[in-house]
Amino acid sequence: MTTKNQEHFYFAKHDTVALANKYGTPLYVLSEDILRQNIRVLQEAFRDVHFPIKISYASKAFTCLAMCKIIDDEGLFLDTVSSGEFYTALVAGIKGEKITYHGSNKSIEELTYALSNCVGCVVIDSEQEIPTLQQIAASLHITQPVMIRINPGIMANTHERILTGKADSKFGIPFAEACGAAQKIVAEAPNLRLIGLHCHIGSQIHDHEAYVAAASNLIALYKDISARLPVCLQEINLGGGFNIDYLEQETLFDIKGYAKALNQLFLKHFSDGNIAMPTVGIEPGRYIVGPAGITLYRVGVIKNLSGLRKYVNVDGGLYENPRPAMYNAEYRLLVANKYNQPKDDLVTVSGRCCESDTLFENVMLQQSEPGDILAVLHTGAYQQSMASNYNRLPRPAVVLLKGSESEIIIRREEKEDMISKDSVPSWLHAETKGEKDV
C-alpha cells in the first residue's frame, strides 16, 4: 500500500506527480468518477420537473471512444457536429437514434453518412439546408426527424466569441424567419418530419436569465407553429452553455435553479392542456467534462527578467490548449510537487509555440524550478478537442482514472505521426530519405 505524499497534489485520489512520471508530460488527465458524478448532478436537478427531460452530451467538448462509452452507459443522448464525432460515437456502440447532428454548413457527404446511419435528429441551421436534406432523405427512402435551430436574438452574459444566440450570428434561422422555414419543411420536404425547435445561446454562461428569455421565445414560436401547421412538435431544446468555476472566485452554474425556473415557465405555458407538454432538451458539454479534467506539465526554462516579469516555460502550449490565446481563458494552477507551499511567486507561464504563447499571465504560484510538475485544473472541456499540431508538436496523451486505476484512452502522438499523412509528389521522390534513414 502506498502512503499519501503530503507535498503532492492529488486529483481523484491519484498522486498527480506519479501520473506525470508514469505517463509523461504534457498529460491530459480525466476522472471517470467526476464525470459520472457531474452527470448525476444534472439528472438529479431535473428529477422532479413536470416535463420529460432529454439530456445530450455535446461531444465537441471532448470525445473519444471511452468517453462515448461512458456517456452511453449513463443513458445520455449525444450531440455531434461532424462525421468524425458521429463516426466515433458509432464505433463506440452508440445507436444512431441517440445522436443529434448539428452544424452551420453541413456537407452533402456528411448528411448522407448521418442519415444512412439512422441519425436520431438533424438540426437544420439554414433554409438552404432544407432541399438538400429532403433530397438525401428521399434518395434513402426514409422520413428524417428534424429540428430547426432558431436564433432567438438573445445576448447572454459571456465572452463575445462564444456568444451564439445574438442577432448577428452565423448560427440558426432568425426568429422572425422561423415560421417560414417550418412552412417550407411542411410544404416542400415530405421526407422530413419537423419534431421540435432548438437554440444554443452561447457557452460559459453564468446565470439562467438569458436561457429563460430564449425559452420564452421558443415556446411562443412552438405554439404558433403547432397552431398553424400540420406538424406534431414534441421537443424544445435549449442547448448547453452552463459555466464552470475555472477561477476560485467564480461560482458553478446553478443547475437546480435553472431546472426550477424552466419548470415554472413550462408549467405556466403548457398546463392548460391545449398543447401537450413538450420534452425539454439540454446539451451541456463543458459542465459535464470540464471539471473532470486536469492537465499536467513539466517546468523547463525559467527566465527572470529583472523589473519586468518572470517567465516559467512549460512543455505544452497553445497547440494543446488554444483557449488562452483565443479568448483569454483563465485557469487555476499550482505546482503539483509543492502543493503545500505558499503561492508567493508572481509568474507568467508560457508554452513552447512560436508566438508569445502565453498560457497563464500574471498568476501566483509556488516557487518553481525546472523539473517541477504544474497542474492546471478544470481542463476537461475544449482543450484536447481543440488541440492542433502547430509547430508539428505531437498532441499529449489522455489518461482516464477510475477508482485507483488509470489507463491511456488516447495515446500520445509521436514525431512519426507528424508525417503519417504526408505524401511526396513523384517529382521530388529522388530527394526524399526513407523514414529509417533519419
Q: Go through the chain and tell me how many residues it has.
A: 438
CA pair distance 292, 315, nearest whole angstrom:
22
Using the rule CB under 6 A, give the single segment among 236-244, 331-339, 370-378, 384-392 that binds ligand PLP. Answer: 236-244
Q: Give me 270's grid cell.
A: 403548457
Does residue 320 belong to the site contacting ligand PLP (CB under 6 A)? no
Does residue 129 belong to the site contacting ligand PLP (CB under 6 A)? no
Using the rule CB under 6 A, give the single segment among 30-38, 45-53, 239-247, 364-372 that binds ligand PLP. Answer: 239-247
Cross-strand pairs, 58 = 79
Does residue 239 belong to the site contacting ligand PLP (CB under 6 A)? yes
CA pair distance 412, 211, nearest whole angstrom:
39
Q: Give me 98's grid cell.
A: 441517440
Minimum distance, C-beta of residue 33 to ligand PLP, in the bound complex (Å): 20
Of 58, 114, 347, 375, the one binding ligand PLP (CB under 6 A) is 58
Using the rule CB under 6 A, give the single segment among 5-13, 209-217, 284-292, 308-316 that binds ligand PLP. Answer: 284-292
Of 61, 111, 182, 280, the one binding ligand PLP (CB under 6 A) is 61
- Alpha carbon separation from 184 to 42, 136, 193, 416 (Å, rounded): 36, 16, 12, 51
Does residue 287 belong to the site contacting ligand PLP (CB under 6 A)? yes
Does residue 281 belong to the site contacting ligand PLP (CB under 6 A)? no
DSSP letter for 223, please. Answer: H
Minimum distance, C-beta of residue 190 to ligand PLP, in the bound complex (Å): 27
User: One of 64, 232, 353, 354 is an active-site residue; which one?
Assistant: 354
232 is catalytic: no
Minimum distance, C-beta of residue 379 to ligand PLP, in the bound complex (Å): 13
Minimum distance, C-beta of residue 393 to ligand PLP, in the bound complex (Å): 25
Say how far residue 393 (Cα) sits from the centre of its chain.
23
Q: For residue 278, which of 43, 48, 50 has the smallest C-alpha distance?
A: 50
Specify whether the CB–CB gap between 245 and 200 falls below 8 A: no
Minimum distance, C-beta of residue 205 to ligand PLP, in the bound complex (Å): 8
Using the rule CB under 6 A, give the single segment among 114-122, 188-196, 277-285, 389-397 that binds ligand PLP. Answer: 277-285
CA quadruple 297, 298, 300, 306: dihedral sign: positive
Q: Which residues, 166 to 195, sit near ligand PLP by CB under 6 A?
A: none
CB atoms within 10 A of CB 430: 7
Specify whether the CB–CB gap between 315 and 295 falls below 8 A: no
Does residue 286 belong to the site contacting ligand PLP (CB under 6 A)? yes
Binding mask 78-117 for ligand PLP (x = CB under 6 A): -x----------------------x---------------
CA pair distance 186, 195, nearest whole angstrom:
11
Return the residue matching grid coordinates 448547453.
240
Does residue 378 belong to the site contacting ligand PLP (CB under 6 A)? no
Nearer to ligand PLP, 352 or 378 (CB): 378
Beta strands in 316-404, from DSSP E residues, in sequence order: 333-335, 345-350, 358-365, 373-377, 397-402
Return the residue matching grid coordinates 446565470.
207
Q: Give me 394's grid cell.
A: 505531437
Does residue 26 belong to the site contacting ligand PLP (CB under 6 A)? no
Work out the angle at residue 106's Cα, subtended by the Cα atoms of residues 103 and 112, and round it to the nearest 5 degrees: 120
Q: Give me 258's grid cell.
A: 435553472
Minimum distance, C-beta of residue 117 to ligand PLP, in the bound complex (Å): 20
Of 153, 196, 241, 278, the one binding ligand PLP (CB under 6 A) is 241
Q: Which residues are known catalytic residues?
A: 354
Positions touching ligand PLP (CB under 6 A) are 58, 60-61, 79, 102, 200, 203, 239-242, 283-287, 381
